[in-house]
Amino acid sequence: MTHVLQFYSVNTTLTAGNGGVLSFPPHFLWGTATSPTQVEGHILNEWTDYRARDGRTCHPACDSYHRYPEDIEWLVRLGVKGYRMGIEWSRLQAGPFAPLNQAELDRYLDQLDRLQAAGITPMVVLHHFSNPLWITKHGGWLNRATVEAFVDYVAKLVAALRGRVRLWNTFNEPDTYGSCSYLIGEFPPGDKWRFRAYCRVIRHMAQAHVRACQVIRQAGPAGAVEVGFSKNWTSFEALHPWSPWDRSIAAMSHLFFNRFVLHRFLGDGRREAATFLGVNYYGRVRFKHTRPMIPTFDFSRDQLAAMGVICDDMFERHPSGMEGALEKMQRQYGLPIYVTEHGSASTDEVFRERDLKENLVALHRAMGRGVDVRGFFYWSLMDNFEWQFGYAKKFGLIGVDFSDEKLPRVMKPLGRVYSAICRDNAVLNF
Ligand code: FCB
């Protein structure tokens, strides 16, 4: 379905290019994000024994399982008003259709109550790249029965958290999960080039998403509850537009990772299930001689920079792509948008500050053109376990020293910059 771009009243409150001040609308939700496997530690899911490239595991990550009260103090110090956090399915159910584990539930309830007391709105993510072992054992998301098991879990969880959670995020980046697990072998189960498996996983997740949205919206007071999934938006391009091979690979990637997934989740009327669309935007991937020009594919940042490809430790930075992606998605689906993740990994904090501001300028421009963006969540609250890369990628606003078993946290320069943005509800000196 194609929707006409609407112009919202926020336009009048946006003051771009005003002596270097970009103001955001009142009630714009400034937040930050984490996920259970990446920060909690002490987790029993298919990541537990997974060894990342640095030889380490997701245990104990940041030990947020025990230290969430302290982490909430950091959120307060940052001055964010939103926290996108996951609830880990494997902690709560011991098998299909089992009752929720009360002790584990109580811990999450305490976390949510502390957030509320601190004036921080949680956005709860139901699936962020991890499954209970009993789901993995039965084929994970390849098995249609996983949809029923997930919907049962969601119904029980929603009932248990009634009144505490207003913002729900069903699935985080099904495209990344499906491709890393079944195409490039980087996530458990580590399969490669199983295109049909990838499509099947996406289809099942999309079915589960629609059903979970119904459960959530029926349970919550109408109008108050918001629910959506988060799509990773990556632009795929050929480095040299005249290369037919690179253009074909880029077109195929776009078809598989963007169009197919958006269609399964939002096409044919399925968009009516959700109330918003989450967009995770990091940058773009360009291909040269069929190889992706990004640091994680064995190029150094300097080599890439010499070719005009400016990267953090993960992806090419491409702020104007954020603007284009947001406009395109608003036009196509007409749902309000939350930018549920953006961030950069680097130990160069000056680079990260520039990256953040450039992306917020692009976001602001999109809003000025009528895109209804309701909030922005910086990835991540703190340095954490970055899946196949282990602890090497530094995405945090807060630093964590993983060489010290006490896992001390420290505010980073970017944390201070972000804190000022949240406080001023504006980007200054961009
Ligand atoms: C996203 C994931 C998140 C984190 C960031 C860097 O794709 O959702 O967990 O790994 O990338």
Taking only the tens place, the pLDDT of each residue in 51-92 is 999 999 999 999 999 999 999 999 999 999 999 999 999 999
Gap between the Cα atoms of 164 and 148, Å rounded = 24
What are 204-234's pLDDT values in tens digits?
999 999 999 999 999 987 678 999 999 999 9
The owner of tokens 């230290």 is 67
Rounded Cα distance, 42 and 175, in Å: 27
**What's the CA-to-centroid distance between 86 and ligand 1, angstroms?**
12
Asked if 25 and 13 touch (Cβ cutoff 8 Å), the reply is yes
Average pLDDT estimate for 180-204: 98
What's the rounded mean pLDDT across residues 107-114? Answer: 98
User: What's the pLDDT at 14?
Assistant: 46
Q: What is the DSSP letter of 129?
A: S
Give the residue from 131, 50, 44 showing the smallest Cα distance to 96.
131
Atom of ligand 1 nearest to the CA of 386: 10
pLDDT in tens, 275-332: 999 999 999 999 999 999 999 888 999 999 999 999 999 999 999 999 999 999 999 9
pLDDT(15) > 70: no
CA–centroid distance, 6 to ligand 1, in Å, is 30
- The pLDDT of 21-36, averaged and rounded, is 97
What pLDDT sits at residue 122? Answer: 98
Q: Check residue 10 and give its pLDDT.
A: 37
pTM exceeds 0.85 for this model: yes
By the 8 A CB rule, do 82 and 375 touch? Answer: yes
Q: Which helix (H) or strand (E) element contains residue 37?
A: helix 36-39
What is the per-residue burial (b if ≥16 Cβ within 10 Å, else e) of 137-165? eeebbbbeebbebbbebbbbbbeebeeeb
How far CA 329 is from CA of 163, 266, 321, 400, in Å, comes to 30, 11, 12, 35
pLDDT of residue 296: 87
CA dist 365 and 360 (Å) reads 8
pLDDT at 192 over 90: yes
Residue of 53, 176, 312 with the most ligand 1 atoms within 8 Å of its CB, for mutation:
176
Task: State the pLDDT confidence band at 2, using cuts at 50, 70 and 90.
Answer: very low
Binned at pLDDT 50, 70 and 90, residue 7 comes out as very low
Cα separation, 289 vs 407, in Å, equals 42
Q: What's the 298 CA to ligand 1 centre distance in angstroms?
A: 19
Q: What angle do CA 27, 31, 36 make, to 5 degrees?
A: 140
pLDDT number for residue 19: 57
How far, in Å, is the centroid of ligand 1 from the Cα of 242? 32
pLDDT tens-digit readout, 349-373: 999 999 999 999 999 999 999 999 9
Kindly state the average pLDDT of the residues 361-390. 98
Is a pLDDT exceeding 80 seen at residue 16? Answer: no
Rounded CA Rg of the chain: 20
Q: Looking at residue 11, what is its pLDDT?
A: 35
Ligand 1 center to residue 414 CA distance, Å?
Answer: 18
Q: What is the DSSP string of 375-420?
A: EEEEE-SB----GGGTT-----SEEE-TTSTT--EEE-HHHHHHHH
CA of 413: how far to CAs of 74, 210, 299, 347, 416, in Å?
A: 14, 40, 27, 11, 5
Ligand 1 centroid, distance to 155 Cα (angstroms): 26
The answer to whether the CB of 183 falls within 8 A of the CB of 239 is no
Closest to 135 measured CA to CA, from 124, 145, 125, 120: 145
Band of residue 376 on the pLDDT scale cut at 50, 70, 90: very high
% pLDDT > 70, the chain: 95
Q: What is the residue with the minimal CA distance to atom 5 of ligand 1? A: 379
Q: DSSP string covering 265-332, please?
A: HHTTTGGGG-S-EEEEEEEEEEEETTEE-SGGGT--HHHHHHTT--B-SSSB--HHHHHHHHHHHHHH
Which residue shows structure tokens 């699935």?
A: 171
- How buried is residue 88: exposed, middle or buried, by Cβ count under 10 Å (0-12/13-18/19+)? buried
**Closest residue CA from atom 4 of ligand 1:** 386
Ligand 1 contacts (CB < 6 A) are 35, 38, 172-173, 176, 232, 280, 341, 379, 386-387, 395
Q: What HEC string does 261-279 produce?
A: HHHHHHCCCHHHHCCCEEE
Q: Which residues contact 8 (CB under 8 A, 6 or more apart)?
A: 370, 372
* pLDDT for residue 266: 98
Residue 316 CA, ligand 1 centroid: distance in Å: 15
Token pair for 281? 């935007």
Secondary structure (3-state) at 154: helix
Write the pLDDT tens digit of every residue in 141-182.
999 999 999 999 999 999 999 999 999 999 999 999 999 999
Pocket of ligand 1, candidates 50, 379, 393: which has the most ligand atoms within 8 Å of its Cβ, to mutate? 379
Look at phi and psi of residue 289 and say left if phi exceeds 0, alpha if psi is from -120 to 50, else beta: left
Distance (Å) from CA 387 to ligand 1 centroid? 8
Return phi, psi of residue 310, to 5°.
-95, 120
Q: Average pLDDT in the 389-397 region?
A: 98
Q: Which helix (H) or strand (E) holds 125?
A: strand 121-127
**Considering all CA atoms of the chain, what is the largest pairwise distance in Å, rounded to the nearest integer?**
59
Question: In a mutational test of the pocket of ligand 1, which residue from 39, 179, 315, 386 has the highest number of ligand atoms less than 8 Å from its CB?
Answer: 386
